[in-house]
Chain A
Amino acid sequence: MEPGKISERQLAFLITAMLVNTVIFLMPQLGARAVEQDAWLTALLGSVWGIFMVLVIIALARRFPGHTPIEYLPLILGKPLGKILGTIYVFWFLSVGAVIVFEFTSFLKITIMPKTPLAVFMVTIMVLVYYALRSGLESWARVNEILLFVVLVAIAAVIILPYNNLDFSRLLPLAEHPPGLLISTSIVSGSWRGEVILAGMLIPALASDRHTSRNLVLVVLLVGFLLAAMEVSTTAAFGAIPTGQKEFPFFSLARMISIAKIFDRLEVLIVIALVLGTFFKICVFLYCSVLGTAQIFGFKKFQFLLLPLTILMIALALNSFKGMPELTDFATNVWPGYALLSFELVIPLLLYLIVILRSRRVRKS
């Protein structure tokens, strides 16, 4: 269905852009609130979940080469059940995409332009996303290959440049909180890492599929490392408790940057860099929902679905939350259950078990 082909590196870069953005908006706050100075440990622990999900999704993709999850769901569960679950999955892509749009535009509104209506940001970025998706997967995957560098440099700058304000003794004592709490917090940060399952929708578009699992595992580890470094930096700069009291700790951290009075007030540049990364994240989510919708209904083309779904995503995003308090509440209480514990890990794992059991039964008979 997707006419374009992307390389393995482009896939890895796309997934990096997708995983690293938005998790750094909220997770330092949620992590510090839950386990104080041990937040960075949970960021690293979250990678374990991520790797697990990569392995499951790759194993499923290997069983059904050339098919996206939406296509092989009916093959595993039978047509009616498979289509229903597929529809739910597509709604999941769309709704999580809408949450991301809301989260990101709220971030822009709160930090830079408080008087500007949310809809302006949403429409602007969605028009761009629409334009990118219209040009085809190949082209925006290639643009991401160039721009991801800017995003990663911006994130690294936030982590490293406030060095004169960092006091690493604030990270001690290490692992003060009980392991159970650390693991349950890692599920929250792992939920963002688990968005890696969207790679399943892109794997059929790969030109070659030799190192995909290795690449994706590396991507998950890199993102875990970046998030951990971000949390180390925020905790060292503010202390664990004040970090948990800030709406966007990484933005406050970017505001601390002041080197020799010359590199000062850089936060807006950093926000602009993050606009790039989040743009690609929204691209991936909208692309997956459009492709998934077309595949459920068996359309030959999906381009004509682009406009309605773009508008639907804006509508969902505008009506999803009232503001940051609701979103933070969602991210702490609902998101792990909505993501890692259902759509990201548990359902794919069950699917894979069904596939194994079936093939074994086939082999026996």
Chain B
Amino acid sequence: MNRVVFIFLLVVLSALHCGCWDRVEIDDLELVIGDAHDLADYAGKTGVQTTFQIANPQAMISSQGAMSGGRGGGEGGGSGSGTFFVVSERGESIRDSVAKMNYRIPKQLFLGHERVAIFGEKAARSGLTPFFDRLTRSRESRDTKFIAVSKGNASRILEQESPVSQSTAQALNTIFENKDGWQGILAVNMADFLYRLGTGVTSPVAPLVEVVPQTSMTSKEKKEGLSNTVALTGLAVFDTHGRLVDTFNERETMGLMWVINRVKNRALTIPHVAEGKAEPVSLDLTKAKGKIKVDIEDNGLPVFEIKMQTEFDLLEHFSKHREMIDVGLIAELEKTASTQVINEIEAVLKKSQMLGTDVFGFGEEVRRQHRRNWPQYKEHWRDVFPIVNVAIQCETRIHNRELSVEPPGSRTEGEWR
């Protein structure tokens, strides 16, 4: 009897192991690698336009070997098309527009491998909150996917072919993955964005992408007219309801990254005055640490103190002078670097206070450090934030100078003619 039951179970259970009703072959899937969301007119009302960038795996694999980078129309694989194709539809909701794609796309759309979600400027200005419902509800989409905002229509970004990668979505994904924290690159994944949106006081931010003219081209590419690519050009700043307010430029973005501790790799170029002429000195960041301290003043307003600690190595001294050997000079450079960092933070502080967007999480810091006082600010933090006082301190150390002691061929002051 037991043996009969056992054999019966073995047969029944092995029959079930293939995935039941949800069996899908990978051949039957279209792998979406990037999605773009815009607002568009639909049936006389404001609807959404969803654009998918869909990988063509055969072409992608063969073009990896063939050096041709991205666009190899026709030369890759058997399907006879480039490394990706784009599909775009309009509808009342995201899912509504995706459902319409099925009339044209032969295989089943699969969003499990999508890397970036890009939102158009118009959609961002009207508020991103409704767009995130589908992106979080879907069991295919992940919270680690990157968020970006485009200038103009987001579909434009995905339609663009990239000379530096197989597809723009992949290019953006690689930038976000490998260069998060470099210069003004602040990668924001969906979990980060939604965390800030969820607090109700901290303003969400997202990188701004744009189609820009390509600067590095071979003569063949120039002839073909492939002259554009996509690039990060700043940071989009949202209010607490997820509506795009304004954008930060590179310098302001870098200032923000100091404060929220997201700087990983940074070349800071500061002027060094020698013989009345400013010469650029580039420093390489080795360590940065920012801290926000909150005090409540007698008048009831919170006062913030941003304390930065940075450590650099000397990266380049674009100069004819032989001076880097002098220890006293290093101390002077440290002071200039500190000023530079403080200036960057001040720039972003001024801008964000003008916009009334608390991108630093100052409100959250008040809540954490003075939770008894927090309820009195909570409701009108938007009005309090622009008038709070912020003191910025920065302590800098410059440690090493890589492999050179001084510029080759350089002279000390008097000798130079």
Which A residues form the contact surface with B (CB < 8 A)?
110-117, 120, 124, 127-128, 131, 134, 165, 169-170, 172-173, 176, 237-242, 245-246, 252, 255-256, 258
Q: Is the CB of B21 within 8 A of A127?
A: no
Q: Cβ of B144: which chain A residues have Cβ within 8 Å of it?
A: 165, 255-256, 258
Q: Is the CB of A116 within 8 A of B22?
A: yes
B19 and chain A: residue at smallest CB distance: A113
CA distance A131 to B1 in the complex (A): 12
A-B contacts besides A114-B139, A115-B20, 12 pairs, CB < 8 Å: A112-B22, A115-B21, A120-B16, A120-B20, A127-B12, A131-B5, A131-B9, A165-B191, A173-B371, A237-B191, A242-B195, A256-B144
Q: Cβ of A246: which chain B residues have Cβ within 8 Å of it?
A: 136
In the complex, B102 has a CB within 8 A of chain A: no
| Interchain residue pairs with CB less than 8 A apart (11) | A111-B139, A113-B22, A116-B22, A120-B20, A131-B9, A237-B143, A239-B194, A239-B199, A242-B195, A245-B198, A255-B142
Q: Is the CB of B368 within 8 A of A169?
A: yes
In the complex, B105 has a CB within 8 A of chain A: no
**Shortest distance between the CB of A338 and any CB in chain B (Å):** 29
B370 and chain A: residue at smallest CB distance: A173
Q: Is the CB of B195 within 8 A of A113?
A: no
B interface residues, tally (CB under 8 Å): 23
Q: Cβ of B16: which chain A residues have Cβ within 8 Å of it?
A: 120, 124
Q: Is the CB of B13 within 8 A of A115?
A: no
Please judge, given known A-B contacts A112-B22, A116-B22, whether A241 and B198 are in contact too, CB under 8 Å. Answer: yes
**Shortest distance between the CB of A242 and any CB in chain B (Å):** 5
Which one of B9, B198, B367 lies within 8 Å of A242 (CB-CB)? Answer: B198
Q: Cβ of B194: which chain A residues have Cβ within 8 Å of it?
A: 238-239, 242
CA distance A252 to B139 in the complex (A): 9
Q: Is the CB of A115 within 8 A of B195?
A: no
CA distance A134 to B3 in the complex (A): 13
8 smallest CB-CB distances across A and B, nearest first, come from A241-B198, A239-B195, A116-B20, A113-B22, A115-B21, A172-B368, A173-B371, A116-B21
Q: Cβ of B139: which chain A residues have Cβ within 8 Å of it?
A: 110-111, 114
Between A131, A173, A256, A258, the greatest number of chain B beta carbons within 10 A of the residue's beta carbon is seen for A173
CA distance A299 to B195 in the complex (A): 58
CA distance A111 to B16 in the complex (A): 17
Which one of B5, B191, B195, B368 lies within 8 Å of A173 (CB-CB)? Answer: B368
CA distance A272 to B371 in the complex (A): 42
